[in-house]
Amino acid sequence: MSLSSTDMHRATDAATLEADFQTRIDNEEKIEPKDWMPEAYRKNLIRQISQHAHSEVIGMQPEGNWITRAPSLHRKAVLLAKVQDEAGHGLYLYSAAETLGITREELIHNLHTGAAKYASIFNYPSLTWADMGAIGWLVDGAAIVNQVSLQRTSYGPYARGMVRICKEESFHQRQGYHILMTLMEGSDEQKAMAQDAVNRFWWPSLMMFGPHDSDSEHSGQSMTWKIKRQSNDELRQKFVDQSIEQAEAIGLTLPDPDLRWNEERGHYDFGEIDWEEFYQVISGSGPCNRDRLAHHRRAHEEGAWVREAIEAYEAKKKASV
């Protein structure tokens, strides 16, 4: 069936808009909320930004578990501040996602129904105080490696939000490393606790960068649109390279017998990730998936009266004008 002249004009107009859009991307121009963008670009951004926002908020749970059990008042205050930072990061990111035409209610609904994902790392339990060190050093360290390049992502609100987030995450990584460094200067039991935490969080931290580039559904298009600036495997390699020297500096051993320097590549070789475990966790069958979502749903429901009070106050204020 042949296209009508109207349909042909629409197709031509759409092709021109997409070509102009890609030219702006290639010229390193930022895309802003009111600019024209392909629907697939908008959906890709909503998926990535919402996943990032959900990760920040769900990630408060394993750390919040240790606020009341921190070993000193100083450690308690620092951890509390960190958890508050993560809540702020979630707020920045939800706000950035909302500029794309999706509501906060829709974002939370997608999280609760499983339509939206969050970082698989937060489905692992925090068993000891040393886990606060491993999460800060490895998990936040992996996040920084990924997020530094996102400061140059093509969507303006996302890029600007990442500038502040990266500054705060760098403190979180140092806090975690300091916890592990302190434990490694302590008793044999404390050293063993630090090593155990690193053993448990190393491989899940590598999984944070997602599947291999060849297996990633969104990576190629995200790179073309400069939503992402570096591929999953490039970022993972960068993280491995920097982590080995940091571990050696305080006497920790990374749990990978295949780690070795490759002179030809100029990088460290490392073992293969357990991808079966990765896909099991992101599909909802990790150690803490159900607990994490149940806790979030409960907190969301218990906070309903606050949202209702705010809406009533705003409505009353508008009525009085």
54 — phi, psi (to 5°)?
Answer: -60, -35
pLDDT given for residue 6 in this prediction: 59
Taking only the tens of pLDDT, the chain with its 321 residues reads: 555 555 555 656 888 999 999 999 999 999 999 999 999 999 999 999 999 999 999 999 999 999 999 999 999 999 999 999 999 999 999 999 999 999 999 999 999 999 999 999 999 999 999 999 999 999 999 999 999 999 999 999 999 999 999 999 999 999 999 999 999 999 999 999 999 999 999 999 999 999 988 777 777 888 999 999 889 999 999 999 999 999 999 999 999 999 999 999 999 999 999 999 999 999 889 999 999 999 999 999 999 999 999 999 999 999 987
Q: Give the pLDDT of residue 320.
A: 86
Cα separation of 75 and 72, whole Å? 5
Yes or no: say if 122 and 292 are a contact pair by the CB < 8 Å rule. Answer: yes
3-state secondary structure of 115: coil
Set out the domains of the chain in order of their start, with CATH numbers.
14-320 (1.20.1260.10)
* Polymer length in residues for the chain: 321
| Cα 235 from Cα 147, distance rounded (Å) | 10
DSSP 74-111: HHHHHHHHHHHHHHHHHHHHHHHHHTTT--HHHHHHHH
What pLDDT score was predicted for residue 2? 52
Amino acid, single-letter form, for residue 225? W
The predicted structure's pLDDT at residue 129: 98
State the Cα–Cα distance between residues 40 and 47, nearest whole angstrom: 10
Per the listing, tokens 């490392």 go with 270
The model carries a pTM of 0.90
Judge contact between 48 and 112, C-beta under 8 A. Answer: no
Output the pLDDT for position 321: 76
